[in-house]
Amino acid sequence: MAILIDPPMWPAHGTVFSHLVSDSSLEELHAFAQAAELPHRAFDRDHYDVPLARYDELVSRGAEAVQGTELVRRLVRSGLRVPARQRPEKLNSILMRRWNQLAPGHEDVGRALVARWSHMDRHYHSSTHLLAVLNALELLSSRSEDPGTYPSAQGFTAWYHDAIYNGVPGTDEEQSAELAAAEMSQMGVDAPVIDETVRLILLTKTHDPEPDDQAGKVFVDADLEVLARAEKDYRRYTDDVREEYRHVPDGLFREGRAKILQDLLDKPHLFETRTGRTLWESRARLNLQQELRELRNV
């Protein structure tokens, strides 16, 4: 495990910048940056941008000086590198195309939503998560999972379910539902679609739909698809969640996170749809069990 820094050669703001990364975990990277008092705004998804004036100091603090190609190679090998397609400038154009398909003629509303999802304080509940949910909904639809009476409500729910996110469970969902109702009404969306969107957003408080709630099952599964990611992607998810709760002391976070994981594992199944159980159930249980062991063994 190492903190790596490449030569300062990237020009911006009247100086040149280095990239500071970890080849093992974002948690390690953030801890090093915090100890060095690097501003959080310098973090860009998988690295910190460091001006020339800080280079020697960071090397003296233990950052390993490597060439840019070596830094990229080790970052890729670690699984922490964020591909270009997942970076905001690329994501935003993809998301706007999706929004314009869902709500043509209301591009201004879509741009405001993208800005919410792209806020620098978001790590897991970000535009990447929004696109992942939209993609998961498409996958479930392609497997003939019933989206309910108002299919467009699934798309609106994806866009609005974490539109307001302050790390306050319950309140975040309620405020997001209120925002959805207000903006969808202004856009002239039919009242039944608005009501269904609000209902589905509020369902994400518990992720526990009723047995006959097919629409709820589809959205909950799309929202929880992240639990079934490959190991390196799941670890990125857990690092991002921890970063969003960086204000919570480590012991309290571990205790709370462990309870959430145990409650999930105690359920007879994690996913509600046939497709979700077929594609994601086994991998998700392995991920949750491994994370829970790590939380309890520290």
Q: What is the CATH number of the domain that holds 130?
A: 1.10.1300.10
**Is the CB of residue 84 less than 8 Å from the CB of residue 134?**
no
Among 117-126, 167-176, 274-283, 289-298, the minimum mean pLDDT is found in 117-126
* Confidence label for 84 from pLDDT (cuts 50, 70 and 90): low
Could you tell me if 11 and 147 lie in one domain? no
In this prediction, residue 87 carries a pLDDT of 64
C-alpha 141/C-alpha 206 separation (Å) is: 23
Comparing C-alpha atoms, which of 2, 9, 20, 3 is closest to residue 52? Answer: 9
Work out the pLDDT band at 236, boundaries 50, 70, 90. Answer: confident
For residue 176, pLDDT over 90 is answered with yes
**pLDDT tens-digit readout, 107-151:** 999 999 999 998 878 888 999 999 999 999 999 999 999 999 999
Among the ranges given (80-89, 107-116, 226-235), the one the predictor scored with the smallest mean pLDDT? 80-89
Q: Are residues 109 and 218 in the same domain?
A: yes
pLDDT at 89: 63
Residue 153 binned pLDDT confidence (cut-offs 50, 70, 90): very high
Of 243, 259, 267, the closest CA to residue 291 belongs to: 259
Compute the distance between CA of residue 100 and CA of residue 107 in angstroms, rounded to an integer. Answer: 6
Residues comprising the chain, all counted: 298
Q: Are residues 120 and 227 in the same domain?
A: yes
Residues 97 and 169 in one domain: yes
Percent of the chain scored above 70 by pLDDT? 97
- The answer on 105 and 49 residing in a single domain is no
Same domain, residue pair 92 and 174: yes
Looking at the structure, tell me whether residues 221 and 246 fall in a common domain: yes
Residue that terminates a domain, selected from 34, 57, 81 = 81
Report the C-alpha dihedral over residues 138, 140, 141, 147, rounded to 10 degrees: -110
What is the per-residue pLDDT for 10? Answer: 87
**pLDDT for 179:** 98
pLDDT at residue 240 greater than cutoff 80: yes
Q: How many Cα atoms sit within 13 Å of 213 on the Cβ side?
A: 14
> Could you tell me if 104 and 77 lie in one domain?
no
- Parallel/antiparallel/unpaired status of strands 48-51 and 64-65: unpaired
Supply the range of the domain harboring residue 26: 3-81
At residue 27, the pLDDT reads 87
43/102 same-domain check: no
User: Residue 51 gets which letter from DSSP?
Assistant: E
Domain check: are 95 and 48 in the same one?
no
Q: Which of 81, 97, 114 is the last residue of a domain?
A: 81
Task: Please identify, among 51, 81, 111, the residue that sits at the C-terminal boundary of a domain.
Answer: 81
Let me know whether 74 and 90 are in one domain.
no
Using pLDDT thresholds of 50, 70 and 90, give the confidence band for residue 85: low
123 within 8 A of 240, measured Cβ to Cβ: yes
Q: Do 71 and 193 share a structural domain?
A: no
Band of residue 18 on the pLDDT scale cut at 50, 70, 90:
very high
Per the structure, the count of domains in the chain is 2
Give the separation between CA 124 and CA 117, rounded to whole angstroms: 10
pLDDT range class, residue 37, cuts 50, 70, 90:
very high
pLDDT at 86: 64
Average pLDDT, the chain: 93
Strand, helix or coil for residue 213? coil
Q: Give 14 or 120, the one with higher predicted confidence.
A: 14
pLDDT category at 80 given cuts 50, 70, 90 is confident
